[in-house]
Amino acid sequence: MTKKYGKVYLVGGGPGDPGLITVKGKEILGKADTVVHDYLVNPELLSYTKPGAELVCVGKKAGHTVMPQGEINDLLVEKARGGRTVARLKGGDPFIFGRGGEEAEALAARGIEFEIVPGVTSAAAVPAYAGIPLTHRKTASSFAVVTGHENPAKGESGIEWGVVAQMGTVVFLMGVTNLAGNMKKLIEFGMSPDTPAAVISRGTYPSQASVTGTVADIAEKAAAREDISSPAIVVTGEVVRFSDVISWYEKKPLFGKRIVVTRPREQARPLSSLFEEMGAEVVEFPAIEIAPPGSYAVLDNALKALGSYDWIIFTSVNGVRGFFERLGRLGLDVREMHGPKVAAIGEVTAEELGAHGINVDMMPADYVAEGLIELFRKTDLAGRRILIPRAKEAREILPESLRKMGARVDVAPVYRTKKAGKTKTAALRKEISEGRIDVITFTSSSTVRNFLETVGEIRIFSGRKPVFACIGPVTAKTLADSGYEAAVVPAEYTAGGLAEAVADYFKDLK
């Protein structure tokens, strides 16, 4: 019986922005048993892998190799022969200076099934993120993509410099190290020294930096900039002039800002995505974890008697989720809620209820407990029964105020927050102290307390102090009680409101 081998997928991961991986590439990562990836692949792409997948970094980047190419080829063969589905994840496109051809040859020679999954090449994507079209009807009808550093073992250059120098646009990949020499070659073979040129460093990342000049002076200009380094792409041609007009990525409102998101891991992505869409680089540092309450006794008794309540008040999305999850575990469903009216603090909480088929009867304009209390003052609560499914640890102002109005209030813990385990605390503390963090965001009082308890005193030894941004006044007060002032508190106490307020803050500074 012939032994069944696995399969290798040579996957292009795109130039850096994780949103630029292809749909198929993401799908392959989700099913691979082993992912063999290069050093420069955005680590966020590895979050698409399935639980338990083996991750192997082979460390390839310009000028540095942890594992020689021959050993990488052997590794791919070994894993496939072990029956594993292997994703060989490369930056950009595997067949454009990615040595994917060599790996495919090795797999074919040893009878290993493989498939090529093309990626978005940095040759096109990085100039696009800098506002440089490779072709333009008015100025360039052809372009060349050239390696920025040839293999020195080749002896004579394999680049047709005479042809390249006559192209409308020339793109050098990995072009910083030999920038001066390559520009000299272009001039030597007939390109005008006045031809516009650009260097784009860390393209498609929030830390992208670019500098423009001419073929004659671009090397000098790039060397004078501390933020221009490998990996970088060099572009020459008249199309570079368009960057002044159509540059878009570096004009995003939060471009280049590093923002810490302290939300629980399972809730961080929506807020992080908002900041990333505005051009920021997000550091996710969950300050809390959502965990089951110590006991479900109070909640279970309430769920079995939902019809006896006049109102159910939900104060958070986590409260809604925990409520309905427990309702289902008890063999009950939404039909149990036909009697009581429902109130919610906040638009997002109301939307989560809507996803479960529940319309909200009451929601304050200000998404805080005090706003809801004011609305209930207009209602006769004498003898009314109210259920509040919420976190085990929360402010008591809502139930206490409702009881003073004559209501019978049951507070049922549906979840609790606990301090999240940390593995990158020292690294974040160092970044803060060196002034490399622009904003730290807090979305609840518990994120404030646990963050400060984990990270400790915010001390700056060099650079700028971070801006503190809180989702609402209650969170801001908790921060103030801890000795720090929130510079940003949005008028709308939502994730979207917080992101917009941070953007407005930096816009006003400009």
DSSP single-letter state for residue 34? E
Which tokens go with 257? 């800002």
Q: Cis link prior to 231 (omega < 30° from 0)? A: yes
For residues 171 and 128, what is the distance between their CA atoms, to the nearest angstrom? 12
* Closest to 376 (Cα-Cα) out of 386, 306, 338, 349: 386
Question: Helix or strand or coil: residue 325?
Answer: helix
Cα separations in angstroms, 394 against 94, 135, 390: 52, 59, 8
CB atoms within 10 A of CB 357: 10
Q: Which two tokens stand for residue 433?
A: 């102290």
Is 391 in contact with 291 (CB distance < 8 Å)? Answer: no
Catalytic residue flag (residue 60): yes
Catalytic residue among 17, 33, 60, 191, which?
60
DSSP state letters, 154-197: G-S--S-HHHHTTSSEEEEET-STTHHHHHHHHHHTT--TTSEE
Whole-angstrom Cα distance, residue 174 to residue 220?
17
| Cα gap 145→97, rounded to integer Å | 10
User: 174, 183, 191, 363: which is the annotated catalytic residue?
Assistant: 174
Given 33, 38, 93, 438, which residue is catalytic? 38
337 catalytic, yes or no?
A: no
- Extract the tokens encoding 90: 């490369």
Q: Using CA atoms, how far apart are residues 237 and 148, in angstroms rounded to an integer? A: 16
Q: State in Å, rounded, how far the first CA of the chain is from the last one.
A: 71
State the residue for tokens 């009878």: 111
CA 505 centroid distance within chain: 21
Return the active site residues.
Answer: 38, 60, 174
